[in-house]
Structure 1
Amino acid sequence: MGRHVRSDDGRLLLAEEWGNPSGTPVLLLHGTPGSRLGTALPDLADHHPDTRFFAYDRPGYGGSDRLPGRRVADAARDAAAVADALGVEHFAVVGRSGGAPHALACAALLPDRVRAAAALVSIAPRDAAGLDWFAGMTPFNVHEFGLAAESPELLDADLAARSAAIRRDPERLVEDLRAELSDHDLPIVSDPAVRATLLRTYREAVGTSHHGWTDDTLAFTHPWGFDVSAVAVPVLLWHGLDDAFSPPAHTRWLADRIPGATLVLKPNAGHFAAQYALPAVLEWLRDQDAQEGGGR
């Protein structure tokens, strides 16, 4: 069911925790659109009994209050508020897809609390120098991100209509995306566990409003509010080479600018392969923790 916690400015954020209460804390950040319910497949905690997982709905999604005009950087203070409410001092953070830039924000802006971070199938900042930002991106994302830059009002209306359709039929978004999925993604979204997780998170994400989706899209296409080159904690960047939703060139750009980042480019893998990558990512995080002597 989750629990509400208050942000430092009084907003309510709906958080969830599971796994081992005494385990190593890992914050999981959901995609776009998404919710705390879609951060991992159901059996993850069973295979990682030494981990305490927690997540929350970003503002405007699910049960969390909206924060109009939010930036990617604002995720750091919300993550800190959720961690404080749960009694977590130090933690690792993992963001997939739309959650990945927010994970990098936590790494950059909470260096005394975040032990390590992983960004899976991330996009780069819209003003990324030398990057052809739309190259290789699906028409769906080109359209939405284009509206964000040219007409936020039209973007909001478009996502309001899409969200209403998803509320009526949560499978609608999955089916809409099928036409743009790579051959490597199709069997993944057909996996019953993945499909059930996607439907659950989409239903929760837009159950109250479309605002989280709108605000995510705007945040990605406006200045993020931090410099990725300022990240000083260990970072893993993971990307499927056949990803057209977040083209791998974005992660290559990030890897060139985040000091000491570990880059994993997976052949024969698309965007949704990140669903299966989390166990290996958690092993990498555990290795980072061991190298630091058990964390700070």
Structure 2
Amino acid sequence: MATGTTKRISAASARAHTRRSNPATPSRISGIVKKVLLVFVVGLLAWGYQTALPPPHKTCGSKDGPPITGPRIQLKDGRHLAYREFGVPRENAKHKIVFIHGFDSCRHDALCLTGNLPEEFIQSHGLYILSFDRPGYGESDPNPKLSIKSTALDIEELADQLGLGSKFYIIGFSMGGQVAWTCLKYIPHRLAGIALLAPVVNYWWPSLPSNLTGEVYKKLLPQDQWALSVAHHMPWLVYWWNTQKLFPPLSLVALRPELLPKVFSPHDLEVMASRASHRHLFQGHIRQQGEYNSIHRDLAVHFGTWEFDPMELKNPFPENEGPKAHLWQGDEDLLVPVILQRHIVSQLPWIQYHELTGRGHSFPCFGKMPENIIQSLITPKSH
């Protein structure tokens, strides 16, 4: 008869099979938490990267882009600049002026000057005024290499292609005034004269006293303090900051009606109301290629770190011909505080300073101001 075999099991083996599983050790829990945190951080970064990316650019003249409605030139690098001409034909002009528009504006904003110039004044002085869309605005292609220097060189090439001659005048308004500073730096040999109208100040220019800029900076709206700090210290975050919903964006980007009295003087609001119906005709034209390549890159470049300090510029004009550089400023300007301009011109005695009592940021669009500005520019008086 067959007999079965008996398998002997040791006591140690029996205990191993009946022993309960040990609970997870602290090191194992720590490892799991680290993995979860890593996944969370990666996900957060991916979300942040996606939200920081601007939507695709809308190229003018393309199938899905805005139409081309005016003349343009093609620059050496292939980009196009759109422009508009005012006054007498350029071949008959005695004085040729290039107007540089400000933030969130376009070539049509030159009408704030030209629209208030009497025809007799234009004809008698032989005035030709050229306005252009700065890169990314209106119908001008964005510049992927936009810098403090690049727009000044664009102006020089625009002037050459249109045959403005060896010298021409510059009028820069608001943020266009910052571009005017760069013309003094990079193309001084092309300037017959220059007028800076309420030029925006970069709070981080090295020669500005920190106690002065600190005093003025604290008076800005808190949301503007944050937005400008982002533009200077983290320019790659400008688009995200001004489009996210967690914090308020720059007041001039949001354009909320309740904020306007806090950033514009009573005189500004009066001027803006008088121009509202006219500006409405081209308001949608300004950002039509996308906000990133217009207003957001504008902020990042002009409030970033500059390649030079405007207060170290030398006079590029012959001193015996009278002042050919002018800076105009309203003493009630809430966007560009007058105290900063006073300090800047105190460091640059070759600039003729014009301070306007009771006027805000929009003074160039008021009354006879265009005549006064241009008259002083084209007929300098010797000291």
| TM-score normalised according to structure 2 size | 0.66
Deviations, residues 22-60 of structure 1 (Å, cap 9, x unaligned): 221100000101111112333437342321010111111
2:289 aligns with 208
Kindly indicate whether structure 1 or structure 2 has the higher relative contact order, using CA contacts under 8 Å at least 6 residues apart: 1
1:50-199 aligned at under 5 Å gives the runs: 50-89=126-165, 90-125=167-202, 126-129=204-207, 130=209, 131-132=212-213, 134-139=217-222, 141-159=224-242, 173=255, 175=257, 178-180=260-262, 181-191=264-274, 194-199=275-280
For residues 234 and 308 of structure 2, the distance between their equivalents in structure 1, rounded to whole angstroms, comes to: 24
Given that residues 138 and 286 in structure 2 are in contact (C-alpha distance below 8 angstroms), is that contact kept between their aligned partners in structure 1?
yes
1:272 aligns with 362
Against the structure 1 CA distance between its residues 257 and 177, is the aligned structure 2 distance closer, same or farther, given a 3 Å change threshold? same
1:261 aligns with 2:261: no
Structure 2's unaligned 5+ residue stretches are: 1-68, 246-253, 318-323
The offset of 1:127, in angstroms, is 2.2
What is the one-letter code of the residue matched to 1:203?
Answer: G
Given that residues 83 and 133 in structure 2 are in contact (C-alpha distance below 8 angstroms), is that contact kept between their aligned partners in structure 1?
yes
What is the one-letter code of the residue matched to 1:286?
Answer: I
User: What is the root-mean-square deviation of aligned Cα atoms in Å?
Assistant: 2.5
Given that residues 137 and 247 in structure 1 are in contact (C-alpha distance below 8 angstroms), is that contact kept between their aligned partners in structure 2?
no
Against the structure 1 CA distance between its residues 35 and 257, is the aligned structure 2 distance closer, same or farther, given a 3 Å change threshold? same
What is the one-letter code of the residue matched to 1:98?
Answer: M
Equivalent residue pairs, number: 279
The offset of 1:11, in angstroms, is 1.4
Runs of 4+ in structure 1 off by over 6 angstroms are none
Given that residues 6 and 81 in structure 1 are in contact (C-alpha distance below 8 angstroms), is that contact kept between their aligned partners in structure 2?
no
Given that residues 240 and 270 in structure 1 are in contact (C-alpha distance below 8 angstroms), is that contact kept between their aligned partners in structure 2?
yes
The offset of 1:149, in angstroms, is 2.3
Q: In terms of mean alpha carbon deviation, does 278-287 or 174-183 score higher?
A: 174-183
What is the one-letter code of the residue matched to 1:40?
Answer: L
For residues 158 and 37 of structure 1, the distance between their equivalents in structure 2, rounded to whole angstroms, comes to: 28
Against the structure 1 CA distance between its residues 247 and 140, is the aligned structure 2 distance closer, same or farther, given a 3 Å change threshold? farther
1:230 aligns with 314
Given that residues 232 and 305 in structure 2 are in contact (C-alpha distance below 8 angstroms), is that contact kept between their aligned partners in structure 1?
no
Given that residues 235 and 304 in structure 2 are in contact (C-alpha distance below 8 angstroms), is that contact kept between their aligned partners in structure 1?
no
Given that residues 72 and 83 in structure 2 are in contact (C-alpha distance below 8 angstroms), is that contact kept between their aligned partners in structure 1?
yes
The offset of 1:182, in angstroms, is 1.5
Deviations, residues 247-290 of structure 1 (Å, cap 9, x unaligned): 112322321233410011111111112322322110111213x8
What is the one-letter code of the residue matched to 1:5?
Answer: I
For residues 71 and 238 of structure 1, the distance between their equivalents in structure 2, rounded to whole angstroms, comes to: 25
What is the one-letter code of the residue matched to 2:101?
Answer: H
2:122 aligns with 48
Given that residues 13 and 56 in structure 1 are in contact (C-alpha distance below 8 angstroms), is that contact kept between their aligned partners in structure 2?
yes
The offset of 1:92, in angstroms, is 0.3
The offset of 1:230, in angstroms, is 3.2
Structure with the greater alpha carbon radius of gyration: 2
2:249 aligns with none
Residue of structure 1 aligned with 2:76, choices 8, 14, 18: 8
Structure 1's unaligned 5+ residue stretches are: 163-171, 292-296
1:37 aligns with 2:115: no
Given that residues 205 and 309 in structure 2 are in contact (C-alpha distance below 8 angstroms), is that contact kept between their aligned partners in structure 1?
no
For residues 330 and 199 of structure 2, the distance between their equivalents in structure 1, rounded to whole angstroms, comes to: 10
Against the structure 1 CA distance between its residues 231 and 124, is the aligned structure 2 distance closer, same or farther, given a 3 Å change threshold? farther
Q: Identity percentage over the alignment?
A: 22
For residues 51 and 76 of structure 1, the distance between their equivalents in structure 2, rounded to whole angstroms, comes to: 22
What is the one-letter code of the residue matched to 1:156?
Answer: Y
Against the structure 1 CA distance between its residues 86 and 197, is the aligned structure 2 distance closer, same or farther, given a 3 Å change threshold? farther
SS of residue in 2 equivalent to 1:58: coil
